[in-house]
Amino acid sequence: MQYAPRMNRSAKPEHKPLDGVSANAGPIASPVRAGRSRKSIGQAGRARGPERAEIDEIPRLGKPAPEPQLAANGVRWLPVPAWNRLGWLWHGFSTRMGGLSRAYCAEGSPGELNLGFTPADSAEAVAANRRLLAEAVTGDAATPIATIRQIHSNIVVVAGRETANRKPPPKADGVMTDEPGLLLGVLTADCIPVLVADRKRRAVAAFHAGWRGTVQRIVEAGVGRMRLEFGSAPEDLVAAIGPGISQCCYNVGDEVLAAFESQFAYARELFVEVEDPDPVRVRYPMLFLNQRAPGHQPVGRKLHLNLIEANRRQLLAAGLRPAAIQPAGRCTSCQPGLFFSHRASGGHAGRMMSVIGIRPGR
C-alpha cells in the first residue's frame, strides 16, 4: 500500500499525449502521430516497458538534427555538424530546395533540386542541378560526381576521377574511393543514404539502403569492402545516416518482416505494430476480417520498419563505435516540403543526392 501515492504522482507524466513526447524530435520533424498506439513486436509476451521507450522510434544519439544550409547558388543542403572539423572531407545531403527542375513543383513556384535522371524531368535540368550541388559542397561546379545505377543489391564498386562520368554508371548500391577530387553520389527519395569516411586512411564511401539492400547487408558488406580495398580499420571509420523514411511513416508488409527475420537475430527489434487509424476499418472490422489472407497481421494493425536503426545496427556489426555514427534524424515522408519522398508523393518524386569526397591538397 505504501507505493500507492507514488504511483498516483507518476501517473500524470506517464499518460501525457504522444504529441508531447515528440516535441524533442527536432524543430520540424513530428514523427509520432497522435491517436495511434504502438508496441515493439520484439516485446510481445514480455512485460512492457515504460510508454516513452516504446514510441521513441528514431534513435537519438545526443546530436540534434542538422539545419539545412543555404549555399550562395540557392541550393539548400544538410551537412553533418560533427564532420565539419574534418577539413579533408567533402560531404552533404541535398534537399529538394534550390535548382532548376520544374517536374515536381507547382506552376509559379521556384525550381527544385531533382538530382535523378527521372522520366518526368529534363536531363538538362538534372545535369545543371548536379553542378549546383557540386558547387555548393566543393566550391567548384566542375567537380565530377561518380554515381551508380542503383538496383537494391549488396554490390559495391570502386570509383576514381577517370571513371566518374562513365555512362551508363555501373550497377551497384555502394561506391567508394580513396582518390581526391571527386564526389561519390547516391540517390534517394525515402531509402536510407549512408556515408562513411576513414579518418586515418582517407577513404570514403556512399551506400544506398532500401529495405531489400538492407536485408542483403549492403552497409555491412560495404564496410568489409573498405577494409579489403583500403585497409580501413573499423575504429577509424565515421558514418552518417542521411534523411530517409523513418519508422513513423514506413508501413511495410509481412513479407518484409519475414525477410528480416531470415537474416537478423535482432530483426523483431526493428519493427513496431501501429494501430491502423482507418475509421472505416475501426467501424467495420468484419468487412476486413473476411478479406484477410491466412497468416497475415490482425485487422487494424500495421507493421512499421525502422530502416535507419537497421542500418545503424549494420554499422555497429561492422565494428564502428556507437559515437562514430551520426543520424540525420529527419523523415522524408514527414517533411515533403523539404525532401522528395516517394511515399508522400504517391510515387511522383524527384531524387535527393548524398555526396562524399576527398578534398584535394589536404
Q: Pick from 28, 105, 249, 317: which binds Zn ion (CB under 5 A)? A: 249
Least gap, CB of 263 to Zn ion (angstroms): 25
Residue 196: enclosing H or E segment and its boundaries? Answer: strand 192-198
Distance from the first to the final alpha carbon of the chain: 68
Q: Which is nearer to Zn ion, 138 or 247 (CB)?
A: 247
Q: Does 328 bind Zn ion (CB under 5 A)?
A: no
Q: Pick from 150, 333, 341, 354: which binds Zn ion (CB under 5 A)? A: 333
Least gap, CB of 185 to Zn ion (angstroms): 24
Q: Which residues of 231-248 are buried (b: 16+ CB within 10 A; e: fewer)?
A: ebebebbbbbbbbbbbbb
The 174-177 sheet, strands edge to edge: 156-158, 174-177, 203-209, 192-198, 237-241, 325-327
Contact 14, 51 (CB under 8 A): yes
CA distances from 290 to 2, 30, 188, 286, 354 (A): 50, 35, 37, 6, 45
Q: Does 247 bind Zn ion (CB under 5 A)?
A: no
> Which range binds Zn ion by CB under 5 A, 45-53, 112-120, 170-178, 241-249?
241-249
Least gap, CB of 30 to Zn ion (angstroms): 8
> Which range binds Zn ion by CB under 5 A, 113-121, 156-164, 277-285, 325-333?
325-333
> Which range binds Zn ion by CB under 5 A, 61-69, 95-103, 245-253, 273-281?
245-253
> How many residues appear in the chain?
362
Size of the site for Zn ion (CB under 5 A): 6
Q: Which is nearer to Zn ion, 313 or 330 (CB)?
A: 330
Nearest to 51 by CA among 8, 12, 3: 12
> Which range binds Zn ion by CB under 5 A, 149-157, 202-210, 242-250, 253-261?
242-250
Q: Which residues of 154-171 are buried (b: 16+ CB within 10 A; e: fewer)?
A: bbbbbbeeebbeeeebee
Q: Does 331 bind Zn ion (CB under 5 A)?
A: yes
Q: Which is nearer to Zn ion, 150 or 247 (CB)?
A: 247
Q: Does 58 bind Zn ion (CB under 5 A)?
A: no
Question: Which residues have C-beta within 8 Å of that of residue 120, sequence separation ≥ 6?
Answer: 103, 104, 348
Site string (193-232) toward Zn ion, x via CB under 5 A: ----------------------------------------
Least gap, CB of 338 to Zn ion (angstroms): 12
Least gap, CB of 57 to Zn ion (angstroms): 9
Q: Pick from 248, 353, 355, 358: which binds Zn ion (CB under 5 A)? A: 248
Instruction: Tally Cβ neighbours within 10 Å of residue 97.
Output: 18
Site string (273-312) toward Zn ion, x via CB under 5 A: ----------------------------------------
Q: Does 334 bind Zn ion (CB under 5 A)?
A: yes
* Secondary structure E strands in 235-342: 237-241, 251-252, 271-275, 301-305, 325-327
Cell numbers describing residue 166: 562513365
Least gap, CB of 66 to Zn ion (angstroms): 17
Burial of 79 (C-beta count, 10 Å sphere; 0-12/13-18/19+):
middle
Least gap, CB of 331 to Zn ion (angstroms): 3
Handedness of CA 171, 176, 178, 181 (dihedral sign): positive
- Interface residues with Zn ion (CB under 5 A)? 246, 248-249, 331, 333-334
